[in-house]
Structure 1
Amino acid sequence: MLIAVSVHTEDKPDFVRLQEAIDSIPEGYEEPVTIRIRPGIYEEKVTVPASAPPILLLGEDRVKTILTWSDNAHTLGEDGKPLGTFRSGTLNIFAESFTAENVTIRNTSGPGTGQAVAAFVDAGQAVFRRVSLLGDQDTLYTGKGKQYYNECWIEGDVDYIFGAATAVFDRCRLHNKRSRGYITAASTPEGTAFGYVFLDCEITGGEGVRDVYLGRPWRPYAHVAFIRTAIDGSITPEGWHNWGQPDRETTSRYEEFASTGAGAAPGRRVSWSRQLTEEEASDYRVIHIFDGWHPEGY
């Protein structure tokens, strides 16, 4: 099934709102659905339900195709109560299979407003290619499942990639917007082989941004590995933070291999992180991390 969405009615789309396009899929429909999104700014909060078939959200131009909303954890919901972090997302994905390409997803709540999720990905298997995820605190919530991000731009300031999923970030750019922040806040379940794996990524910071940590453990068994990452001077030399809970230093797994750039300081990292050997790093392959699953088209 192919559905066209455009905010410009002269394009003669099927729908002008993305949520209407998703809601139009018949109940029980199981075949893959492609939703083509014409360039434009889509100001709406969107949910892909658990009952949805495999969906490809396909934009034509990442820079010009923007899904945007501005809820944060303190925004009042219809029940008059604060939404909380987990209901603040601009795009909320609960389907078993989902792919997005060539779009920008942003939360414009702004700095200092608290947790404000751009994308909440709680899918079985999810793929993002050439997607920009823009926000401040808690930009990307990786809820569960296996998630693959390829050539994406992800930015924020505090815990802007967080959650329990096994997620691979392949050739992505991570951009620190403000000083003294944290890129990751993993909550990898105990006994899970892989949490967040960054392959051949780049870390940058805005002008004057300093003292940003690679991560801190949201839960005791957090796992994060940076493999062949180009790191600028926005990252603090110690690299990792224990979130004020020293006991998590013995259970968290924070790893690097072959980091380069001004922020690569293997000799100054905290003692409870690890520099992987070449042999250990060779295990960080997509098909191995995902236990045999190949993201479509990988």
Structure 2
Amino acid sequence: MKKLITALVLLLSCAQVYSKTVKSIVVAQDGSGNFKTVQEALNTVPKHNTERIEIFIKKGVYKEKLKLDTTQHMVSLIGESLNETILTYDDFSGKKAADGSTHTTKTTASFFIFADDFLATNITFENTAGEVGQAVAVMVYGNRAVFVNCRFLGNQDTLYTQGQQSNQYYKNCYIEGTTDFIFGFSVAVFDNCHIHSKKNSYITAASTPEGNSYGYVFINCKLTAAEGINEVYLGRPWRPFAKTVFINTEMGSHILPEGWHNWNKPDAEKTSLYAEYNSKGMGGNTEKRVLWSHQLSKKDKRNYKIKTVLADTIGWTARK
């Protein structure tokens, strides 16, 4: 774990995010740890925390609706096993909540991460509601969130990058879903990630705020699909200034030749930035891409270094 954190520090130039761990907590369903549930462990994080707290989660399926509050910063969640440490719930939009209200997309998440400087590794995040509409596995609002070797499982709206002033980094992660399963406002880099489509639909639905230099950036990723899936778009603009870029990404034959969709918003073609560089594989042929998308030059590509994207205005280097 120490080697992992050191590597991330060097990569992102954000040593202040990873200060010395001062508290370690173990969660185990069999009672061998400090707590049996993840939320009990999260509840112990002090408000306005400035020193890193490490929570080690032993193998198990933890069916809990989790929340890390806006004041509970500097938390690391470390799973014992990627495929066997599972944080899951099953809310969906339209479902009745315990208080009598009806869930919307924003309230369906299995895990809400509102705090800054969050780190997770070797954990599966899941929403098991099925194909019933919007059902978020993880909603990330806080800034400087890092996920390494994690899985995000769901259907529509699996991963909600919700914070408008949030920069996020996903390394060696697996993300699956059906429609718009990576969506939201945040700046996010997906580095060497596996993106898996389970339905003929759309992978991304960026809602990049006007004035942001970056939105979603996929680098050295791999796009695959379930058997029989053959009509998938790389993305569509949830809001007019959406930005999504794929660099050195292997694309399966399920990716449509046109690549991108305007969500029936012709005006969004003028303000959105949808671009690629060196797309590969059967879906990587860009000759028939929609005319309003872009192919980056080598010079353009230099602007998409990981450290550059994540330092954009509100990123890691903005924190003193």
Shared fold (TM-score, shorter chain, > 0.5)? yes
Partner of 1:120: 139
For the Cα contact (< 8 Å) 2:144–2:316, is it kept in 1?
no
2:277 paired with 1:257: yes
Report how far residue 245 of structure 1 moved. 1.0
2:217 paired with 1:197: yes
Aligned residues: 291
Partner of 1:154: 175
Q: Which amino acid aligns with 2:140?
A: V
Structure 2, gaps ≥5 residues long? 1-22
Name the CA distance, whole Å, in 2 between partners of 1:47 and 1:208.
Answer: 37
Q: Which moved more, 1:71-80 or 1:220-229?
A: 71-80
Partner of 2:238: 218
Partner of 1:52: 72
Report how far residue 124 of structure 1 moved. 1.3
Name the CA distance, whole Å, in 1 between partners of 2:297 and 2:42.
Answer: 46
For the Cα contact (< 8 Å) 2:46–2:72, is it kept in 1?
no
Report how far residue 278 of structure 1 moved. 1.0
Partner of 1:92: 112
- Identity within the alignment, %: 43
Alignment counterpart, residue 21 of structure 1, candidates 26, 41, 52: 41
Report how far residue 8 of structure 1 moved. 2.0
Alignment counterpart, residue 30 of structure 2, candidates 8, 16, 29: 8
Q: Deviations over 1:228-256 (max 9, x none)?
A: 00000111110100101111111110000
Name the CA distance, whole Å, in 2 between partners of 1:53 and 1:191.
Answer: 27
Structure that is richer in strand per residue: 1
Name the CA distance, whole Å, in 2 between partners of 1:33 and 1:85.
Answer: 30
2:105 paired with 1:102: no
2:194 paired with 1:173: yes
Q: Which moved more, 1:255-264 or 1:70-79?
A: 70-79
For the Cα contact (< 8 Å) 1:38–1:59, is it kept in 2?
yes
For the Cα contact (< 8 Å) 1:286–1:294, is it kept in 2?
no
Q: Which moved more, 1:16-25 or 1:193-202?
A: 16-25
For the Cα contact (< 8 Å) 1:174–1:204, is it kept in 2?
yes
Q: Which amino acid aligns with 2:150?
A: V
For the Cα contact (< 8 Å) 2:75–2:118, is it kept in 1?
yes
Helix, strand or coil at the partner of 1:240: coil
Aligned alpha-carbon RMSD (Å): 1.2
Report how far residue 210 of structure 1 moved. 1.0
Report how far residue 123 of structure 1 moved. 0.6
Name the CA distance, whole Å, in 2 between partners of 1:163 and 1:215.
Answer: 12
Name the CA distance, whole Å, in 2 between partners of 1:228 and 1:262.
Answer: 13
Helix, strand or coil at the partner of 1:203: strand
Name the CA distance, whole Å, in 2 between partners of 1:294 and 1:123.
Answer: 12
Report how far residue 26 of structure 1 moved. 3.5
Q: In structure 2, do the counterparts of structure 1 residues 76 and 243 end up closer, same or farther at CA, with 3 Å as the change threshold?
A: same
The 5-angstrom pairing of residues 230-249 of structure 1 reads: 230-249=250-269
Name the CA distance, whole Å, in 1 between partners of 2:133 and 2:45.
Answer: 34
Name the CA distance, whole Å, in 2 between partners of 1:26 and 1:165.
Answer: 26
Q: Deviations over 1:81-136 (max 9, x none)?
A: 2110001000110002101100000000001x010000000011100000000000
Name the CA distance, whole Å, in 2 between partners of 1:141 and 1:2.
Answer: 28
